[in-house]
Chain A
Amino acid sequence: MVSGTLYTYPENFRAYKALIAAKYSSADIKVDPNFVFGETNKSDGFLKKFPSGKVPAFESSDGKYLQDGNAIAYYVANDQLRGKNDFEKAQVLQWICFADNEILPASCAWVFPILGIIQYDKKAFDRSKEDVRAALSVLNSYLLTRTYLVGERISLADVSVTCNLLLLYTHVLEPEFRKPFANVNRWFNTVVNQPNFRAVVGEVKLCTKAAEVDPKKFQQLQGAAGKAGGKDKKEKKEEKKEKKQAPKKEKEAEPVEEMDATEAALAAEPKSRDPFEVLPKGTFNMDDYKRCYSNEDESKSIPYFWEKFDPENYSIWMGEYKYNEELSKVFMSCNLITGMYQRLDKMRKQAFASVCLFGTDNDSSISGIWVWRGQDLAFTLSPDWQIDYETYDWKKLDPKSEETKKLVEQYFSWTGTDKQGRKFNQGKIFK
């Protein structure tokens, strides 16, 4: 009997195929608990065994290596799953190909923009629905007279096609859409409720309302992906480990986990990491505003700011440097500001600031206007943000007062003087 280790991130529908097949054959397949996506599979040792670095990957106890969920499933399965004779085996292969060629591309084109894994493209998105409909129609007429896809018992064909339909059935195939495909629905429900299937995947809850595309999600995920630097690696690792320990909990909380490879690991990150997450979102879209500020003249972007600003959930602050008398060279003072910005990197998503230096060498001051989500001082939300803020005096501004409006205009457009009448010298934008 086959035994060995499977490398995969949790809740990977490709790995499910192998794990379900192993349940049927009672093959002893363990998922490597130390696997960290993006690390283990990029390590030299792993790449030596599995050159593509992709998961799922399988290492048998007697030192054989296999890649691809379908291939591993075939290897660890039993004869019932593989097909009784050559013709049945060919039919099983036919349905595995159908699952990968007809269902999976359409499924990804539909579900991945929703999960924020790929950018929304209306044309591709709309087409994917028709492609899914076409694939389901084929299955539906085939299953009118058949209980399972091949023969009269569950086979790898059922396992593969069902796994490739999982994301569709749980995220977007709302009752209205799936209604015409009664035979597929019946078959799908039967397969996902087989004890061997449930043992691996758990309960499959069918979609009640199709999820919609949220463009912000994509931006967030991609933004996070770009910024995830080397120094975060360690934290990432720890986070992944935690995840392993509580896979069940993950499942309910995070549909994102069902997504594809790389993105799954990256996506999990900003969500749990963003300390602003605990605060209500409000209506003010930081990204939109920053775009406007960058692209438009202040004469447009400042009215835009006041038009969109959400005083319920966001606040405006004045930060004044406490030790202005110690400031000497202008370039050094500017480094002070940019250094602080860098240390606050993780705050960028939900904050905006314009901090200005007034005056000249040996006679200058630093002060700035900050906007962030929440009504309290944002720096207390994360220990990472508490390095610089105590060197400033913080004053919350009343968004309704005229005085605030003037300050905002002055700082955002880099004009005017400080309280002592020093002229504006340089400004730095935190965005």
Chain B
Amino acid sequence: MTINTIGCLTQVANFLKVHPGKINLNSNSLPVRVANNSTTTGFIAIIFDLLNHSNLSLGNLQDKAEIRQWLEYALVYAINCEGSSGIQQVLKELNAVLSTRTYLVTSNVSIADVVLFYILYHIIANLSYLDKERYIHVSRWYDNLQQDANLRQKNKIIDFNTNYLICVKH
């Protein structure tokens, strides 16, 4: 499964209320952003470029490091995950992390949550109810994030309103 990198970056830009500029894929399939006569290449570099033009704070040094770690995770594992086993692996890992945390970094929504929110949108939207149950912590996290209209943008609300009748052994 390939994920629309350009679409994701554009949504991040909209969320940060920064003009996305022109984002394209170059011959190596790397995203390139051209804005204000400057060119930025690479997924993470573009996100930090956008962040620099926004007024979103990244927190202290440790928070910044953790955010970078998650962006790298998003790029290496989430965007390029192959096949359903790859997806399941990412969901499993996220589920484990989110069982003890409300958000990925710090106690509030950070850019790490935002980026993964856009990357995972289609994956989560297509999950079966059984899988939403199995990855209950991911579901709770995602449901919480999508209630913010500014974050959700034009994406449809994903239904998590199941009766939780299915018991899954974790």
Contact = CB atoms under 8 A, between A and B. Distances in A.
Q: Do A and B come from one complex?
A: yes
Q: Which of A147, A151, A182, A189 has the most CB of B within 10 A?
A: A147
Contacts of B103: 190
A340 to B, nearest CB: 60
A145 interface: yes
Contact of B107 (A152, A153, A182, A194): A194
Interface string A151-175: 1110000000000000000000000
Interface string B139-152: 11101100110000
A191 B144 CA distance: 15
Q: Which of B107, B136, B141 has the most CB of A within 10 A?
A: B107
B164 A145 contact: yes
Q: Would you call the interface of chain B mostly helix, strand, loop, or mixed?
A: loop
A157 to B, nearest CB: 15
Contacts of B99: 182, 186
Nearest to A146: B140
Interface string B149-164: 0000000000010001
B164 A182 contact: no
A196 to B, nearest CB: 11
Contact of A152 (B100, B101, B136, B147): B147
A194 B140 contact: no
B100 A186 contact: yes
Contacts of B101: 186, 190
B102 interface: yes
Given A145-B139, A145-B164, A186 B102 contact: yes
A190 B140 contact: no
A190 B164 CA distance: 24
A194 B147 CA distance: 19
The interface size bin for chain A is 10 to 19
Interface string A180-198: 0010011101110111000
Contacts of A194: 107-108
B106 A152 contact: no
A190 B102 contact: yes
A182 B97 CA distance: 12
A195 B107 CA distance: 9
A336 interface: no
Contact of A187 (B102, B106, B148, B160): B102
A124 interface: no
Interface string B63-91: 00000000000000000000000000000
B110 to A, nearest CB: 13
Interface in B91-113: 99-103, 106-108
Contact of A145 (B102, B106, B140, B148): B140
A145 B136 contact: yes
Contact of A185 (B100, B136, B144, B148): B100
A80 to B, nearest CB: 12
A192 B108 CA distance: 11
Given A152-B143, A185-B100, 5 more contacts: A147-B141, A152-B148, A186-B100, A193-B107, A195-B108
Interface of A: 144-148, 151-153, 182, 185-187, 189-191, 193-195
25 contacts: A144-B140, A145-B136, A145-B140, A145-B160, A145-B164, A146-B140, A147-B102, A147-B140, A147-B143, A147-B144, A148-B144, A151-B147, A152-B143, A152-B148, A185-B100, A186-B100, A187-B102, A189-B102, A190-B101, A190-B107, A191-B107, A193-B106, A193-B107, A194-B107, A195-B108
